[in-house]
Amino acid sequence: MLKRTIGASLLALTMAGGAMAQDQSIIVQSTTSTANSGLYDYLLPIFQEESGIQVNVVAVGTGQAIKNAENCDGDLLLVHAKPSEEKFVEAGFGTERTDLMYNDFVIVGPAGDPAGVGGMEDVQGALSKIAGEGALFASRGDDSGTHKKEVALWADAGVDPTAASGDWYRETGSGMGATLNAGIGMGAYVMTDRATWISFDNKQDYQIQVQGDEDMFNQYGVIPVNPEKCPSVNMDGAQAFAEWLLSDEGQDAIEAYKVSGQQLFFPNAPE
C-alpha cells in the first residue's frame, strides 16, 4: 500500500545524484479539473524542486485519460471516477488505486433560475424539475468523470435526457471550461466540479443553484501504471510522485491551495 510518507522511490532517485534526477520525467494522465483549477501549477514546482522529476500533465476527460493509460501513454493516472478506476486496476493496468482528495459537484445556472431549482439540495429532484420544465441543460457528453457522475444522477432521477438531445439537453463533447462557456452562452444549467467553478472567470450572472447532496461527492484517486502491462513506464518516477502526493507534505500542499480564499480540494489519503 502507498504510504503517507515520502517513500523509497523518491529517496532512491534523490540519493542517486542531481544529474540522474534531472533526467527523470513522467507523464500524468489527468482529469481536466485538476489542471483547470490551477492545482498542478501550485503543486508541481514544489515536487520538482525536491525530486528533480519533471511532471508532464495530459489533461483530458477521465474516460480518455484511462484509455490513454491503457495504451501505455502515461506513467500515472489521476482521475475521479472510482468504479472506472477500480476496473482499470482489476484489468491489470494499474498497480494500486489510492484515495487522494475530494470536493463536490454543483449545478450552476442563470440568476433567473427558469426551472426554479435554486437552493435545492436534492439533486435528483432538481434534475427532474429541469427535465419537467424543459429548461436548457448543457452536458459535457465526453465520458469524463463529471459526465459519468451526471449520467448516474439522471438515471437515479429516472430521467433519460438523451431522449431530448439537441432540444433542451445539449451535449458539448468538450471539457469543463468550454462547457461552462457554452452553457452560459445559451442560458443553460451546467453541472461542474466546484474547483473548476471557483476558478472560472466567465461567470456573468451565473450562480450555484444546487449543492449539498451527498450524491454529489467527488473523490479523486491516484494510480501508478503497471509496468507488467506497459514495460516502458517510468515506475520509479510515477511511484515517487504518487508517494509524495499521499505523504503528509503532499497532502498539506493540496490543503493549502486556495483560489479567492476558498479551498478547492480536501486531502483524504489513508493514514
Q: For residue range 1-57, what is the model confidence (pLDDT) as tens digits?
A: 565 544 545 544 443 444 344 458 999 999 988 998 999 999 999 999 999 999 999
pLDDT of res. 180? 96
Enclosing domain of residue 44: 8-102+219-267
Q: Decide: 233 and 72 in contact? Cβ < 8 Å.
A: yes
Mean pLDDT, range 227-243, rounded to an integer: 97
Query: What's the CA gap between 199 and 194, in Å, rounded?
Result: 9
Mean pLDDT of 227-250: 97
Looking at residues 89-110, what average pLDDT do you find? 98
- Least reliable range by pLDDT among 13-17, 105-109, 216-220: 13-17
205 vs 239: CA distance, rounded Å = 44
- Are 95 and 228 members of one domain? yes
The yes-or-no verdict on residue 126 having pLDDT over 70 is: yes
The three cell numbers of residue 121 are: 439540495
Residue 39 located in a structural domain: yes
Task: Tell me how many domains the chain contains.
Answer: 2
* Pair 194, 106: CB distance under 8 Å: yes
Where is average pLDDT lowest: 7-11, 21-25, 90-94, 167-171? Answer: 7-11
Please indicate, yes or no, whether residues 121 and 210 belong to a single structural domain of this protein. Answer: yes
State whether 133 and 154 are in the same domain. Answer: yes
The letter for the amino acid at 259 is: V
Find the mean pLDDT for residues 175-180. Answer: 92
Per the structure block, which three cell numbers stand in for 182?
A: 457554452
Query: Which amino acid belongs to residue 83?
Result: P
Label residue 271 by pLDDT band (50, 70, 90): confident
Residue pLDDT, tens place only, 136-146 = 999 999 999 99
**Same domain as 197, residue 121:** yes
Taking all residues of the chain, what is their mean pLDDT, rounded to a whole number?
A: 92
Higher-confidence position of 7 and 72: 72
- Choice among 96-100, 130-134, 197-201 with the minimum mean pLDDT: 197-201
Q: pTM for the whole thing?
A: 0.89
Instruction: Give 215's contacts (C-beta < 8 A, 6+ positions apart).
Output: 123, 124, 153, 156
Tell me the C-alpha distance between 241 and 232, whole Å.
Answer: 17
**Which CATH number goes with the domain that contains 164?**
3.40.190.10
Q: What cell was used for 239?
A: 511511484
Residue (of 224, 227, 158, 153) closest to 189 by Cα position: 153
Whether residues 97 and 144 fall in one domain: no
Strands 189-193 and 137-139 turn out to be parallel
**Whether the Cβ atoms of residue 203 and residue 121 lie closer than 8 Å to each other:** no
The three-class DSSP label of residue 102 is: strand
Q: Which of 232, 260, 257, 184 lies closest to 75 in space, CA to CA? A: 232
> Could you count the other beta carbons within 10 Å of the beta carbon of residue 227?
16
Structural domain includes residue 1: no
3-state secondary structure (DSSP) of residue 28:
strand
Is the confidence at residue 191, as pLDDT, over 80? yes
Closest CA to 202 of 137, 108, 107, 117: 108
Q: In terms of domains, do 164 and 34 share one?
A: no
The pLDDT assigned to 3 comes to 55
Q: Are residues 139 and 209 in the same domain?
A: yes
Cα gap 125→149, rounded to integer Å: 16
